[in-house]
Structure 1
């Protein structure tokens, strides 16, 4: 099941842009234009992305309410605060209120994506099976006919990211930044995917596991049904 997020920001355009961007990366995203509107949403979500400066209740006030268990949200839910104020004192106030992380505006959506991934609790996901190939979404480990493939750290990270997306396309930008090593450009990501296909696929020229989604990136095919 895809992870779900609630983006709370009085800037409706930003909320829509984040909904589209995060949605493309596999998240189910709800939006609210105010803290008051968010409190009326009775849907379980895995994380909150919350603007600090909003008319009415501020993001800091809502964060405190969540941590004090005075809302519909779980008190331990991960919270990222967004704000145009980037002074150290402002960040300290947000973190003291209980925020999990703090991101100054303007920001690159890719940085927000990485911060979200860092604060959401890890999910233990079942292995994906494709005939004789088994892929672990948790580690990126690949077994072929019972033998573990010797993949690099970056290749493990790429396979884990693709497997965790559960069939949704993962962009080249995201795949290029999954490792602690230097980021890869789009062409280098394509080269890395081709290397993975040569190890994983029976016929790398006609892949059946690691698929290309034009203008969107790469995804894994639907795995064999669980017996």
Structure 2
């Protein structure tokens, strides 16, 4: 394992019952100049996530007392802190369930700590914005985006979008009338290569369509290629 390059210090919570992994990750993050604390069961992890000022939570699926899905469900009722889920399960349904519950990303076990740190930085970069700057608005048909406040409206109604959904909508709106490939979206928003069996993007597209007025028509699937925003409601 290489020592990671140092960046701005982060405060990260790891919820995992593997004590050896927790110890190793604590050392790894310290070498990168970050602070990692951990909890070894779902109940304590949920309390720490609710009470602590963490930049991000790393949450294992298989946990004693409360499993990761239940922890995430309860956490999302009160907090918007970004969450990356860890799973040793290979079933796609488990990953989709995590995304449906509100995870920002997932990483299968075993994982490379350097990849985990890269995923964390990618998630946090997507959430960064500067509200003190001039407002930037993008309008197309009945869709309006404010890229400064990261708010979006559909037919005048304020949408309740996650950070990922806003980024995805902005990318599609700016590319209206052009097919945007899955590879292009994955590289731009997730900062990794798309894989044939990765349902991450499909889940977010589905959520976005449900929140938009006439979303099925606005976001058209081009089979085998990607998606196109039609701009017509």
| Superposition TM-score, scaled by structure 1 size | 0.50
Name the structure with the higher helix share: 2
Higher alpha-carbon Rg: 1
